Amino acid sequence: MELHSPQHILEYNLDLGKTKPDTVHRDEKYCPFCDVSHLKNILDTQGHMIWLENAYPVLKDSWQTLIIETNDCNGEFSNYTAAYATKLIRFGLEKWQQVKDMQKFKSVVFYRNHGYMSGGTIHHPHSQIVGFEKYDYHEDIHPYHLMGTPILTEPGIEINLSSQPIIGFYEVNLILSDYDKLPQFVHYMQITSEYFRHSFISFNDSYNIFFYDFPDDTNLYVKIVPRFLTNPLYVGYMISQTANKGHTERFMNSLKKKLLQKHCHLF
Ligand SMILES: [Zn+2]
């Protein structure tokens, strides 16, 4: 029998998790991220952006930090002004790099959740930066997971639809190869997020943004994924799925239209 590398398992402390505040799924009024004066273990701030250690470190062998993005509890990434969104992503990228530079972790992930189905428990907009002591995500996630059919390409930026998605169906990848184009790149991230929130599936505005880098590659990779119930073929058999050609084409054309439309309005 062929031996496969052991599956990576990350232990989550459910006993601690149970005590976490949840303003997404429960009707809790108190928001810990609005209560700035009681925040502990703050690592850095920039205006209303706060980088701090997660008060509920539920993941084993990990260093969990988060960035509170704004003082607006109902703020949302796709609605920030272009200038604020760029400032925020710059701040996040800087902190992500800082954790990588600590050389204490096998890999560091940077991602954000939005909505009921995205896995987040605090409604107040925030991103996560987590260092894994024993796990390198590059063992499982490869550059081909970020490759696909181009939706839009311009100097320094590529936006594509995953042809080999991690789970499926629609995973939009944004690749930045020229950091001078970051503001435009962030703008496309906002449009894609907004598209998933309002134009993709009715009554479901959940999505995730994931950031990746790969060794010996200076590009920044971002994956934006709408979230709904995970398909059972993936849950049971790890089968990733893509949509049929007709649907895929309609999806790509309509997202492309949005990307170009907004482009004209704001730039
Ligand atoms: Zn809040």
DSSP assignments along 210-256, one per residue: EEEEETTEEEEEEEEEE--SPPHHHHHH-------HHHHHHHHHHHH
* 6 band by pLDDT with thresholds 50, 70 and 90: low
* 129 band by pLDDT with thresholds 50, 70 and 90: very high
Mean pLDDT of 140-167: 96
Mean predicted lDDT score pLDDT of the chain: 91
Q: Is the pLDDT of residue 204 over 80?
A: no
Query: For ligand 1, a single-atom ion, which residues have Cβ within 5 Å?
Result: 31, 33-34, 73, 124
Tell me how far the alpha carbon of residue 123 lies from the centroid of ligand 1, in angstroms.
Answer: 7
Across 61-65, 176-180, 262-266, least confident range? 262-266
Tell me how far the alpha carbon of residue 51 lies from the centroid of ligand 1, in angstroms.
Answer: 15
Q: What is residue 267's predicted lDDT score, i.e. its pLDDT?
A: 39
Mean pLDDT of 28-35: 89
DSSP 71: S
Tell me how far the alpha carbon of residue 182 lies from the centroid of ligand 1, in angstroms.
Answer: 28
Domains of the chain by range and CATH?
14-138 (3.30.428.10), 142-266 (3.30.428.10)
Tell me how far the alpha carbon of residue 63 lies from the centroid of ligand 1, in angstroms.
Answer: 23
Q: What is residue 201's predicted lDDT score, i.e. its pLDDT?
A: 74
Tell me how far the alpha carbon of residue 48 lies from the centroid of ligand 1, in angstroms.
Answer: 12
Q: Which strands make up the sheet holding 107-114, listed edge to edge?
A: 42-46, 49-53, 62-68, 126-132, 107-114, 207-214, 217-226, 172-176, 157-162, 148-154
Amino acid 97 reads Q
User: pLDDT tens across 40-84, in order?
Assistant: 999 999 999 999 999 988 899 999 999 999 999 999 999 999 999
Q: What is residue 29's predicted lDDT score, i.e. its pLDDT?
A: 82
Q: Which two tokens stand for residue 91?
A: 């701040």
Q: What is residue 41's predicted lDDT score, i.e. its pLDDT?
A: 97
Q: What is residue 3's predicted lDDT score, i.e. its pLDDT?
A: 54
* 13 band by pLDDT with thresholds 50, 70 and 90: confident
| 65 sits in which H/E element | strand 62-68
Tell me how far the alpha carbon of residue 158 lies from the centroid of ligand 1, in angstroms.
Answer: 34
Q: Is the pLDDT of residue 2 over 70?
A: no
Burial label for 138, CB within 10 Å (0-12, 13-18, 19+), is middle
Instruction: Write the CB contacts of 156 (distance below 8 Å, at least 6 apart in sequence).
Output: 176, 177, 178, 180, 181, 185
Q: What is residue 17's predicted lDDT score, i.e. its pLDDT?
A: 83
Tell me how far apart the alpha carbons of residues 101 and 105 are, in angstroms, rounded to a whole number: 9
